Structure 1
Amino acid sequence: MISRIQRWTALGLTTLALTACSGGPAPAPKASGKPDRQSAVPTLAPGPQGLTPVFASGPGIPGRPTVALTFDADMTADQGPRAAAGERFDNPALVDTLRELKVPATFFMTGRWAEEYPDQARAIGRDKLFEVANHSYSHYAFTADCYGLPHLPADRVRADVDRAFAAFRRAGVPRPVPYFRFPGGCYDQAALRALAPSGVTAVQWDVVSGDAFATDPDAVARQVLEGVGPGSVVVMHCTRSAAPTTERAVRAIVPELRKRGFHFVKVSDQIGAARARS
């Protein structure tokens, strides 16, 4: 879960490293050719020294401005008791609204979220309107100082990412895309190096919605509408307890952006367009 992140709002498209959650000791299943990921999904080439490439926004498509809405489905391993007590880390109304408005979207899901809500994870993963990407197993930070999140050591990064993909597979998500979003958006060269063996493209954003802990959906909508440009990637959340206004904000954002001529696409479409222009 990001918390009013402002320092990442102007990243742009980059494959360069910036100098700028494991859920416990259980072993992750060994990768075996990654058969459950979409081999045809576009990715970026590794950065310098083989570091994980980073995508934050695209160049857009001439004559067809696009924007990708992304939703982080956050849940940590220690939040199980809170979910059992009634706290909701899902947001089915948001997913229903995206379907109603016919808005493609990319969900960056933690493995722990998929374990808590397997039916929803499976339904999102099997809907052609959406794609599911990796947001770690249980939202532990990949750097030492990241909004108070527990720190995941570098030697556990590969296992954590694989564990999340395994959770998607158990939930019935057929083809998660090979993209990864750092918990909290926090990363450095060491994190990019540790993540590299997973073979994923890291995905950041250029527009912060501000929906985390927000109480005013109009303010969230204004922040998105003021920030979006051709090729933008918007970060939002699919966790009802921590982002309760997101669904209402989306209902305001979508028609206004369509009025401005924007087309909604998935992150894979943005990356594909970026590759075509390179």
Structure 2
Amino acid sequence: MIAPVRRLAALCVLGAVVTGCGTGHNSAPSEPSRPSDTASPGGSASPGGSVAARPPTLAPGPAGLAPVFKNGKRAAEKTVALTFDADMTADQGARAAGGERFDNPALLATLRRLKVPSTVFMTGRWAEEYPDQARSIGSDPLFEVANHSYSHYAFTSRCYGLPTVAPDKMRADVERAFTAFRKVGVKNAMPYFRFPGGCYDRTALRNVAQAGVTAVQWDVVSGDAFATDADSVAEEVLRGVQPGSVVVMHCTRSAAPTTERAIRKVVPELRKRGYRFVRVSELIGAAGRG
């Protein structure tokens, strides 16, 4: 049994952002940059060899900084994006080999059964551990795969006790995740990036901009990390959602065991309230048109 202090530390180390740990970050510009040909996120080759349209992005941010997208328009149309972080750090392979489950097939099955478009922010290490699931998510038009770093190490020096990525290695870490996705068969990963733990600063934004990604945060924290009460998680989401919201949840069974049950309450209730579920790309596309 983990003592309360150790439990909180473990939660933060996994980068699961809950109310008690804060929301990570500092200031951020508001517009995403264009994807990079080097990292090759997004876009795909057609049978004739031409490249399909890039996923929606906004104008580049100022001063060479990657922009940060937190939520869509607070418009009359009620749209909401559920996002799921598939967390696994670079050094957790031994735990996975010992039986700890960092995946959550039941959650994915429920999202499919309920027909909920979703965005999965996946680490490269998770994709390597669960290649069949990563490929299945990436090939399912209901979902889109986005980048959550390769290693789930922090991009700032103080981020819930996570090991850190050196500034000169940040771009490489992001691109290594895209490479891992391609190797397991995820063909069209989106040019969107979520910072581990939600932590970033200007240095991090400048470095990830070189990988051609848009940083995607959130405006609703589900509190599903290490939660034991699915109803409380559901109520947290339902209390926070507004038109255009981005909700952060987790797709890791050991770290977020109640998420699937919470989804079974959240989805029908939000639909009853008139909400339509969309992927992050749709919110970004709508913001770009405004």
Give TM-score scaled by structure 1 length: 0.90
Deviation string, structure 1 residues 181-210 (Cα, Å, up to 9, x no partner): 000000011110111101100000000000
Q: Percent identity?
A: 67
* SS of corresponding position for 1:224: helix
2:253 to 218, 240, 245: 240
| Aligned position for 1:23 | none
Query: Which residue does the alignment assign to 2:66?
Result: 52
CA contact (8 A) 1:60 1:270 kept: no
- Equivalence for 1:152: 165
What's the counterpart of residue 175 of structure 1? 188
Residue in structure 2 matching 1:93, options 94, 98, 106: 106
Does the 8 Å contact 1:88/1:241 carry over to 2? yes
Counterpart Cα distance in 1 of 2:247 and 2:161: 23
RMSD, matched Cα: 2.1
- Which has the larger displacement, 46-55 or 232-241? 46-55
Q: 2:266 aligns with which of 241, 250, 253?
A: 253
**Displaced runs of 4 or more, over 4 A:** 31-36
State the partner residue of 1:37: 42
Q: Per the alignment, in what secondary structure is the counterpart of residue 119 of structure 1?
A: helix
Gaps of 5+ in 2: 1-14, 44-52
CA deviations on 1:74-101 (whole Å, 9 max, x unpaired) are: 0011100000000000000000000000
Deviation at 1:3, TM superposition (A): 3.7
Alpha-carbon distance between aligned partners in 1 of 2:40 and 2:163, rounded to the nearest angstrom: 31
Going from structure 1 to structure 2, the CA distance change for 1:207 and 1:32 (only over 3 Å counts) comes to closer
Matches within 5 A, 1:1-278: 1-5=15-19, 7-8=22-23, 15=30, 33-35=38-40, 37-38=42-43, 39-62=53-76, 64-277=77-290
Shift of the alpha carbon at 1:8?
A: 3.4
Find the aligned partners of 1:272 and 1:101 in 2 and give their Cα distance: 24
Q: CA deviation at 1:9?
A: 9.4
Tell me if structure 2 keeps the 8 A contact 1:161–1:198: yes
**SS of alignment partner, residue 164 of structure 2:** coil
Residues 65, 10 of structure 1: CA spacing in aligned structure 2 closer, same or farther, 3 A cutoff? Answer: farther
Q: Deviations over 1:1-40 (max 9, x none)?
A: 32424643999x95179xxxxxxxxxxxxx8555552242
Would you say how many aligned residue pairs link Structure 1 and Structure 2?
263
Q: Please report the TM-score for the alignment, with normalisation by the length of structure 2.
A: 0.86
CA distance in 2, matches of 1:33, 1:191: 18
What letter is aligned with 1:37? G
Structure 2 distance, partners of 1:70, 1:131, is: 10
Query: Tell me, what secondary structure is at the counterpart of 2:84?
Result: strand
- Cα pair 2:24 2:200 within 8 Å, conserved: no
1:270 is aligned with what amino acid? L
Distance in 1 between residues matched to 2:60 and 2:16, nearest whole Å = 26
